[in-house]
């Protein structure tokens, strides 16, 4: 999760990455230097391909659907969730619920949701903090320091497993009422960081409706608590992508094996993998964002959604 240890690990990783990049740039010749100039990302220059567009790199179709978006309010037993809804401009499509990371909903997640809608999904980005905050508590990652974490704590404390399960059921029901959603298709959900375990609860809240879930560098998936997300797998009838950050795995190497055993025992089709990236690598505004590995996880999520929804 996003704690002091994660932050220290990230800073160490970024420092090592800068050193490696400087060493690489010193050792290459003029031709390689020209290739570096052609790159517009922080990735290893060896990964760049000047003749390949972004769609081809990630395996996505170069055709993107036109989309429509709006800010919406969704009724729950505990109040109204303020959310962002985006979907293709025409037709009916499988619905997807996105649970943001610890910073909550913001422009970055609207961009990510729009990208998913361009691939043919009706996507709602929920606000997990709606009970205590309608507006973002922190505007971006630059405010995520000791003071920023302290601001988030009371909002996080207001979230309970039962509350997330109730919210998830309300979100599924709301999606099923939207004209852009094809109710003959099952619903998917994706969660980042603290949103990762919420995807398990979403899948368990409406097992007959939720067909796929993706936990992307999710934290707290296996705990000693009786409400641990992995214990919900027997209640779930969905395919899963569980993408784990390398530093999270280093701290808790048994988690992936416990998840694999639990999924196998519950007969849940689950793709569980440790990615060579730091916690937070899939969020486009995170300092840990790794374009290559984020795109790889994105492609796997799309493949599972397309197959299971």
Residue 26 lies in a domain: no
User: Which residue shows structure tokens 């690598």?
Assistant: 281
Nearest 5°: phi and psi at 237?
A: -125, 50
Q: How far apart are CA 304 and CA 161, in angstroms?
A: 25
Residue 14 lies in a domain: no
Structural domain count of the chain: 1
Residue 32 lies in a domain: no
Residue 53 lies in a domain: no
201 Cα distance to chain centroid:
15
Range of the domain at 150: 59-308
Among candidate residues 142, 99, 161, the one with its CA nearest the CA of residue 124: 99
Residue 38 lies in a domain: no
Nearest 5°: phi and psi at 198?
A: -70, -25
- β-bridge partners, 84: 71, 125
Residue 201 lies in a domain: yes
Report the pLDDT value the prediction gives residue 136, as an integer from 0 to 100. 85
**pLDDT tens over the chain, length 309 residues:** 665 555 555 555 555 554 444 433 333 333 222 222 222 333 333 333 333 333 333 444 458 999 999 999 999 999 999 999 999 999 999 999 999 999 999 999 999 999 999 999 999 999 999 999 998 888 889 889 999 999 999 999 999 999 999 999 999 999 999 999 999 999 999 999 999 999 999 999 999 999 999 999 999 999 999 999 999 999 999 999 999 999 999 999 999 999 999 999 999 999 999 999 999 999 999 999 999 999 999 999 999 999 999
Whether this prediction's pTM lies above 0.85 is answered by no
Q: How far apart are CA 77 and CA 169, in angstroms?
A: 10
Q: How far apart are CA 160 and CA 182, in angstroms?
A: 30
CATH code of 172's domain: 3.40.50.1820
Residue 21 lies in a domain: no
Report the pLDDT value the prediction gives residue 63, as an integer from 0 to 100. 85
Residue 7 lies in a domain: no
Tokens of 145: 């320091």
Report the pLDDT value the prediction gives residue 7, as an integer from 0 to 100. 53
Q: How far apart are CA 288 and CA 112, in angstroms?
A: 16
Contacts of 78 (CB under 8 A, 6+ apart): 131, 163, 166, 167
Contacts of 297 (CB under 8 A, 6+ apart): 214, 216, 241, 243, 275, 281, 282
């Amino acid at each position: 999760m996003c704690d002091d240890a994660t932050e220290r690990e990230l800073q160490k990783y970024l420092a090592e990455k800068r050193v490696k990049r400087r060493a690489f740039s010193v050792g290459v010749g003029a031709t390689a230097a020209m290739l570096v100039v052609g790159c517009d990302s922080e990735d290893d220059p060896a990964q760049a391909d000047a003749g390949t567009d972004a769609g081809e790199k990630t395996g996505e179709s170069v055709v993107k659907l036109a989309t429509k978006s709006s800010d919406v309010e969704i009724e729950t037993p505990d109040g109204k969730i303020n959310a962002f809804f985006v979907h293709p401009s025409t037709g009916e499509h499988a619905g997807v619920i996105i649970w943001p990371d610890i910073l909550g909903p913001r422009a970055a997640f609207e961009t990510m949701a729009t990208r998913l809608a361009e691939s043919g999904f009706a996507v709602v980005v929920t606000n997990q903090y709606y009970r205590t905050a309608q507006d973002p508590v922190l505007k971006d990652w630059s405010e995520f320091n000791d003071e920023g974490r302290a601001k988030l704590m009371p909002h996080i404390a207001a979230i309970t497993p039962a509350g997330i399960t109730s919210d998830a059921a309300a979100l599924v029901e709301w999606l099923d009422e939207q004209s852009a959603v094809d109710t003959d298709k099952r619903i998917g959900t994706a969660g980042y960081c603290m949103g990762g375990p919420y995807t398990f609860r979403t899948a368990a809240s409406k097992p007959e409706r939720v067909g796929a879930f993706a936990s992307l560098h999710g934290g707290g998936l296996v705990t000693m608590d009786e409400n641990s997300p992995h214990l919900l797998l027997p209640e779930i009838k969905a395919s899963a992508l569980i993408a784990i950050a390398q530093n999270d795995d280093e701290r808790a190497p048994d988690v992936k094996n416990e998840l694999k055993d639990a999924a196998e025992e519950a007969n849940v089709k689950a793709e569980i993998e440790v990615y060579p990236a730091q916690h937070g690598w899939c969020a486009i505004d995170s300092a840990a964002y790794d374009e290559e590995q984020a795109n790889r996880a994105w492609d796997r999520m799309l493949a599972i959604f397309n197959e299971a929804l």
